[in-house]
Amino acid sequence: MTPAALRRLIRPGSVDRRVYTDAAIFALEMERLFSRHRGARVVAGRSGHAKRLTCPYHGWTFATDGSLEAMPLAEGYDGADFDRTQHGMKPLPRVQGYRGFVFASLAAEGPDLESFLGPARGALDNMVERAPACELEIAGGSFRAIQRNNWKIYLENLHDGVHAQVVHRASIEASRRVAATLAGPPRFALEVVAANGIPLREMGELEVNCYERGHSDMRGFRKARAEDPAFAEYEAALAQRLGPEGAAAVLDDNRHNALVYPSFSVHPAFQQLRVIVPERVDRTLIEVWCLKMKGAPSFMHRRTIAFANAVHSPASIVKVDDLEAYERVQAGLSDDGWVSLHRGMGRDGASSPLDERFIRNQYEAWLGYMGAA
């Protein structure tokens, strides 16, 4: 598809429905945004230890640095123009780290990591600074959910403040009913779910920041600081490193979520990390990881897991509503036509979750990555 043809898919305030449904466009996205490689997958596990790696197809064995160590019927290559040193596993062209997060790129050329992240790295800074030991670690596995929708539909929902009262009405009402029966303050999970019912006026007062390359973040609407002795213990531990004022500054930097376009999202205040993996034009894998703050009381990691169970688990009363909504949107895109992204175009000033500027920002980046800017 030519750059001119790609540009015709995007208008000011609207996009052609084919960007969500056309398999040829999806294949081009995989090449230019995600750089998917070809070849048999050597490692199927998501974690573990191994002294060497063996291809499950023809049995070639590789060292952990990717070099080819052995292969069956090696004598069959005698006399052939075959250089074993040239047939190892292909190394990633670029790997860089930031605050303990490791980013890898399959593209040989591109900006360095800090330039790529730009201001969006502030969300990662805040996640790390929240740890009393100023370090995070992965503890446990992750939720994995297959969504029957194009990957861009998921990204377009990340800062959307309009859908919550409609899509999540049942869970909002249920959480409020249960909370009303409790003698003391509502439990953390109930507060997390009920917060989706924030009035639109208050939602509109929150700020959404749009950055270059499609990145963005949104201010938080859930209470990130708890008023109980266990959270006070955590704040005291953080203050030992940062001082009371420094700890308060970190904890008051309340971001609902942040997007590193096109495949990475975090909830800084609740130590959640999401990886977006497009599998087909109408199928997307989402992985959700809970990060543990080193030096924090164990209560804080239990709180992180409770947030994930309430919001991100495929079986939660919140996520199932999102999944059905995404699938219905994907089904509705089967006809020709255009999708409106006009909301907020005529308004000056800061962006909010009630407009669609962050989605328009994503498509500006999309055109650039697709070679059509």
For the segment 308-340, what is each residue's pLDDT rounded down to a tens digit?
Answer: 999 999 889 999 999 999 999 999 999 899 999
Q: Rg of the chain's alpha carbons, rounded to an integer?
A: 23
- Segment holding 368, helix H or strand E: helix 357-369
pLDDT band at 350; cut points 50, 70, 90: confident
Q: So what's the pLDDT on residue 57? A: 86
- Whether this prediction's pTM lies above 0.85 is answered by yes
Higher local confidence (pLDDT), 38 or 277? 277
* Per-residue pLDDT at 276 exceeds 90: yes
pLDDT digits (tens, 9 = 90+) for 138-195: 988 899 999 999 999 999 999 999 999 999 999 999 999 999 998 877 789 999 999 9
| DSSP 8-state symbol, 31 | I
What would the pLDDT profile of 48-93 be if each residue is shown by its tens digit? 889 999 988 889 999 999 999 999 998 888 888 888 888 888 888 9
Specify the fold of 3-37+119-369: Naphthalene 1,2-dioxygenase Alpha Subunit; Chain A, domain 1 (3.90.380)
Three-class SS of residue 201? helix
**What proportion of the chain, given as a percentage, has pLDDT over 70?**
99
For the cut 90, the answer to whether the pLDDT of residue 14 exceeds it is yes
Dihedral angle over CA of 339, 344, 350, 354, nearest 10 = -80
User: Taking 60 as the threshold, does the pLDDT of residue 37 lie above it?
Assistant: no
119-124 average pLDDT score: 97
Residue whose pair of structure tokens reads 């499950």 in the numeric block: 56
Sign of CA dihedral 28, 32, 34, 38: positive
Alpha carbon of 72 to those of 41, 59, 60, 67, 77: distances in Å?
Answer: 18, 7, 7, 16, 10
Q: What is the pLDDT of residues 166-180, one digit of tens each?
A: 999 999 999 999 999
What is the mean pLDDT of the segment spanning 340-346?
Answer: 93
Q: Is the dihedral of CA 344, 347, 349, 354 positive or negative?
A: negative
Residues 6+ apart with CB under 8 A from 351: 207, 208, 209, 210, 344, 357, 358
**Taking 60 as the threshold, does the pLDDT of residue 38 lie above it?**
no
The tokens describing 196, both together, are 């989706």
**How far apart (Å, rounded) are the C-alpha atoms in residues 264 and 255?**
15
Structure confidence at residue 155 (pLDDT):
97
Mean pLDDT across the chain: 93
Return the structure tokens found at 233.
């213990």
- pLDDT score at 39: 62
Q: What is the per-residue pLDDT for 122?
A: 97
Just give the CATH number of 41-89.
Answer: 2.102.10.10
Residue 218 has pLDDT above 70, yes or no: yes
Task: Report the distance separating Cα 249 and Cα 234, nearest Å.
Answer: 15
pLDDT of residue 257: 97
- At 306 the pLDDT is 94
**Residue ranges of E strands in 270-347:** 272-280, 283-293, 338-340
Domain residue extents for the chain: 3-37+119-369, 41-89
Q: What is the pLDDT of residue 81?
A: 87
CA-based nearest residue to 354, from 201, 239, 195, 149: 201
45 or 109, higher pLDDT = 109
Residue 368 has pLDDT above 60, yes or no: yes
User: d(Cα 326, Cα 156) in Å, to the nearest integer?
Assistant: 10
Q: What is the mean pLDDT of residues 268-272?
A: 96
Q: Which of 157, 147, 113, 175 is nearest to 256 (CA)?
A: 157
Nearest to 360 by CA among 204, 219, 214: 214
Give strand pairing partners of 350.
none
